[in-house]
Amino acid sequence: MWPPRSVLKDILNSNFHCVAIGSRCTTDQNKLEWRLSFSLAEQKLVYIMNHTQFLCYGLLKIFLSEVLNNNVQEPLLCSYFMKTTMFWLIQAGHLTWSPHKLMECFWVCFAYIIHCVYHGDFPNFFIQQNNMFLKKVVGAARESLLEQLTRYYRLGVSCVLQSPTLRSILEPVLSTPPSLMPLDTVHIYDIGCQCCINDILKTELLDISSHTFCNLMECFSFLKSLDNLLHLPKSQCQSLTLQCCTAEVCARIPFIISNNASNIPHKCVYHSHRNLCNILKLSSRIGTISHSLYLAMYYYRTGRYKDALHITNLTKERLSRTYIKRHGIKDEEGSREVKNSPSLSREMNISWITGIKLYFGFHYIEELIFEDGKKNSRELGTCISPFVLVDMLSVLSNYRLGNKSQYLRSLSDLHILILCDNERSIQDKYLSWYILGVCQQVVGDLHTALESYEGELILEPHYIIKKTIEKRIEYIHQQQSIFILLWYTCSLSYTCDPKKM
């Protein structure tokens, strides 16, 4: 309990002050307002802070003065807000206020301030009904302040180095791994478990790594930047970010090269394919479970159907037995494997799944070419569930190999997955019906494929995907018309042949 009962009793028995300062909400009819001041109580609360709490308070004040309010004529945030933030978070009791967690405590305080600015509500510690942001942190000023705070938040805990004073004190300390901000920081959103924290971490990492690369120059420039960062001191979270970005870039390079390749001598084709496969193997080795499907797609594209089927089966096995964080699904074996994993890097490789990103204008496999996709367009494409893509590649590979029973079984698995999943593996059905229709069309079930395409159109897909579906529907109608015409011609010739009568 904070403050302790003895201090609380002392505060209640103490007096407060009335000062001749009016509220910002004061109208012309009510100018004789006085403010209640609890400066004595605040003094007592500051005196009972431990050493770490007092240091954190000092960090906040210096950061406010030298960074947030630097060159600001009319600052919105003041030192009193920093003190109030400390009071609220100490009373909440979520943090361990010890010296080795100083930067973690500072980061949570900073996040709390952003939270209050975002909601436009900063309650006074003594009178909670008093919103200290009222008539002050509002409108365009609040939006500008929120943008400024968010910009520093994206820098991470290293944003404190923007302060000359703090930089001179903290830079030598921050360069050592033990003092970097721990991963299990408890934020103000009342996160209840490590799983939720890792889900948030995963979402942020995937957002960082989701940049669109349209040509090799951008990819190689990005990899060069990553290589330069490898030599700098990093926290575990920062290392994981670099790994995630590297896996994402390596998954795109082979398809960009293949799309732009032309007039390659035949003797160079083998070496080119081998090198591109090695890049995709690296991506699957350091990335999430889903990254191995890029390798399977490349094998299928180059006609190596057995290899594509082998990778697909291995991925499907991993998806079926692994602790999948994205949807909170657990099994005992996967949970133990993740819990005992030595690092976040290993944990990402064995338990994270991501959607397969397909960009318009890039050729992945023949069955997933979208109409009117401009080459090298920076417009983001679409995302496919790995569970759906696994079954699709299984259907297509078995069909190309002539394994009829296997591709029919995989087609049935895909249909059942889409119909009965209840959002366990597929968060939404977007593109799932289209992919089912493609598989049905490839194996020759045109009538059912037509129904699947029409089901996808009901979901109102992107206009490029919609145009692709409409062309496929038009093609199926043409095939059905040709089939009816041939059947009619054959039946007519059979009837008119006197030898058949």
Could you tell me the CATH number of the domain that includes residue 142?
Answer: 1.10.1410.40
Query: How far is residue 417's CA from residue 388's CA, in Å, rounded to a whole number?
Result: 8
Domain span at 67: 49-157
Residue 496 has pLDDT above 50, yes or no: yes
Is-contact 425 387, C-beta < 8 A?
yes
Q: Is residue 116 part of a domain?
A: yes
The answer as to whether 133 is a domain residue is yes
**Torsion from C-alpha of 6, 12, 15, 21, nearest 10 degrees:** 120
Instruction: Provide the token pair at 30.
Output: 């009510």
Mean pLDDT of the chain: 79
CA-nearest of 344, 321, 348 to 247 is 348
Say yes or no to pLDDT of 435 above 80.
yes
| pLDDT tens per residue, range 439-450 | 999 998 888 889
Confidence of residue 382 (pLDDT cuts 50, 70, 90): confident
Q: Is residue 416 part of a domain?
A: no
Average of pLDDT values for 250-278? Answer: 78
Span 154-209, pLDDT tens digits? 888 878 888 999 888 866 665 554 444 444 443 433 333 445 555 666 666 666 66
Q: Would you state the structure tokens that stand for residue 233, as one six-digit string? A: 């001191």
In three-state secondary structure terms, 384 is strand
Give the percent of the chain with pLDDT over 70: 76
Is residue 94 a part of any domain in this protein?
A: yes
- The pLDDT assigned to 380 comes to 63
Across the range 201-219, mean pLDDT stands at 67
Asked if residue 65 is part of any domain, the answer here is: yes
Find the distance separating the first CA and the last CA of the chain, reported in whole Å.
Answer: 102
What's the CA gap between 125 and 131, in Å, rounded? 10
**Which of 121, 157, 151 minimizes the C-alpha distance to 136?**
121
Is pLDDT of 423 > 80? no
- CA nearest to 66, candidates 160, 170, 137, 149: 160
Predicted structure pTM score = 0.57
**Which pLDDT value is given to residue 292?**
93
Q: Does residue 476 lie in a domain region? A: no
What pLDDT, on the 0 to 100 scale, is given for residue 65?
A: 93
Q: What 8-state DSSP symbol labels residue 179?
A: G
Domain membership of residue 469 (yes or no) is: no
Number of structural domains the chain divides into: 1
Q: Supply the pLDDT for residue 16.
A: 77
Note whether residue 86 is domain-resident: yes
Tell which wins on pLDDT, 422 or 246. 246
Pairing of strands 35-37, 356-358: unpaired
